[in-house]
Amino acid sequence: MDKRGLVLVVEDDAAIAELASLYLRRDGFGVHVEADGGAALETIRRVKPVAIVLDIGLSGMDGIEICRSLRGAGDWTPVLFVTARDDELDRLLGLEIGADDYLTKPFSPRELAARVRTVLRRAAGQAPAAETYSAGATRVDVTRRRAWAGDAEVALTSTEFDLLTYLLRHPGQVFAREQLLSAVWGYAASAGTRTVDVHVAQLRAKLGEHSPIRTVRGTGYAAEAG
């Protein structure tokens, strides 16, 4: 039943973990559950999951610490955060350190499975051969999921990569935050347009002086043509 690969669910609420596992398995994933944050890091290294569903509010080592440790070690396995608190700061911090998406409890287990599929599609990249885009000194190779700013290759999360690619595919076109949420994340603005701002800020920081992304006041964002 694990045709889609193994998903690691890191959740200390046994009922939530069981429900998430049930729906992920129905969706064709294998599932491994860990309730302890410290043990989860070792499990990630051992089982190499295709995606991680990570509760922020774990006792001991929390989800933020786990994600920061993974990204610091160069592990870019897609991470979907789950938080019991509707706390924007938690969510934004998670995105800033490299999470790909998040859900707030209580959540629909069907939506959880759908979100996992979405981050995996983004991470895999479904592009034709030799699909590349550029603006100034910034360029992306969609086939190989690689990005450069000037002569330096830049490490991006799958979501950051897809956002940059989407803007570069439409040079000069201005997109509202709601449009970007729909096109890149695949869901409606109810998820919070602040998510877009955080990812744009992260992209600009990583691309530095070569960033082609400009803010159109009162509207949204665009990639400079050229």
pLDDT value of position 125 = 59
Query: What would the pLDDT profile of 44-86 be if each residue is shown by its tens digit?
Result: 989 899 999 999 888 778 888 999 899 888 888 999 998 876 6
Question: CATH topology for 6-124?
Answer: Rossmann fold (3.40.50)
Note the pLDDT of residue 106. Answer: 83
Tokens 């969609």 belong to 142
φ/ψ (deg, to 5) at 55: -70, 130
Q: Are strands 30-34 and 6-10 parallel, antiparallel or unpaired?
A: parallel
**pTM value?**
0.61
Q: How confident is the model at residue 15 (pLDDT cuts 50, 70, 90)?
A: very high
Contacts of 138 (CB under 8 A, 6+ apart): 147, 148, 149, 164, 168, 207, 210, 211, 212
Topology of domain 132-223, per CATH?
Answer: Arc Repressor Mutant, subunit A (1.10.10)
Q: CA 77, CA 134: separation in Å to the nearest integer?
A: 26
Annotated domain spans of the chain: 6-124, 132-223
Among residues of the chain, what percentage have pLDDT more than 90? Answer: 42
- H/E stretch holding 180 reads helix 177-180
pLDDT at residue 103 greater than cutoff 80: yes
